């Protein structure tokens, strides 16, 4: 397996951050560590993800939290609260 994690951004996040997906080296122990790294990219990344109290997280299609641990091959998704139905 590739030594990477696959990251997906949905809905308003995708538009605000200007990308739908990316791959990063699998060097983060938790979602929190990944978020801290992404927040280094600038104010937008910090407010949309790291400081967003309504941030929704999924790891491998399961609802996750900032404490969820990460490993190589994982798919991490960030998105706003859902509005289907």
Partner 1 sequence: MILDSTLTPFIKIQQHDFDLTTEVLALRQGHKNIGAVVSFVGTVRDINEGDEVTVLELEHYPGMTEKALEKVRLEAHKRWSLEASLIIHRIGSLHPEDQIVLVVAASQHRENAFFAAQFIMDSLKTNAPFWKKETLPSGEVRWVDSRISDSEAQKRWKV
Determine which residue in the list 11, 24, 39, 50 makes contact with partner 1, applying CB under 8 A: 11
- Does 12 sit near partner 1 (CB under 8 A)? yes
Q: Which is nearer to partner 1, 54 or 67 (CB)?
A: 54
Q: Which is nearer to partner 1, 30 or 80 (CB)?
A: 80
- Please identify which residue in 4, 8, 39, 50 interacts with partner 1, judged by CB under 8 A: 8
Span interacting with partner 1, options 21-29, 32-40, 41-49, 77-85, rule CB under 8 A: 77-85
CB of 40 to partner 1, least distance (A): 26
How far, rounded to the nearest angstrom, does the alpha carbon of residue 75 sit from its chain's CA centroid?
A: 9
Block residue for tokens 């927040």: 39
Dihedral-angle region of residue 61 (phi above 0 means left; psi in -120 to 50 means alpha; beta otherwise):
left
DSSP state of 79: E
Match 């397996």 to its residue by tokens: 1
* Residue 59: both structure tokens together: 């790891």
């Amino acid at each position: 397996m590739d030594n990477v994690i696959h990251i997906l951004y949905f809905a308003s996040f995708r538009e605000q951050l200007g990308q739908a997906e990316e791959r990063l080296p699998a060097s983060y122990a938790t979602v929190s560590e990944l978020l801290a790294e992404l927040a280094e990219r600038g104010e937008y990344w910090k407010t949309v993800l790291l400081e967003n109290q309504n941030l929704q997280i999924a790891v491998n299609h399961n609802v996750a939290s900032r404490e969820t641990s990460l490993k190589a091959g994982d798919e991490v998704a960030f998105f706003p609260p859902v509005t289907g139905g």
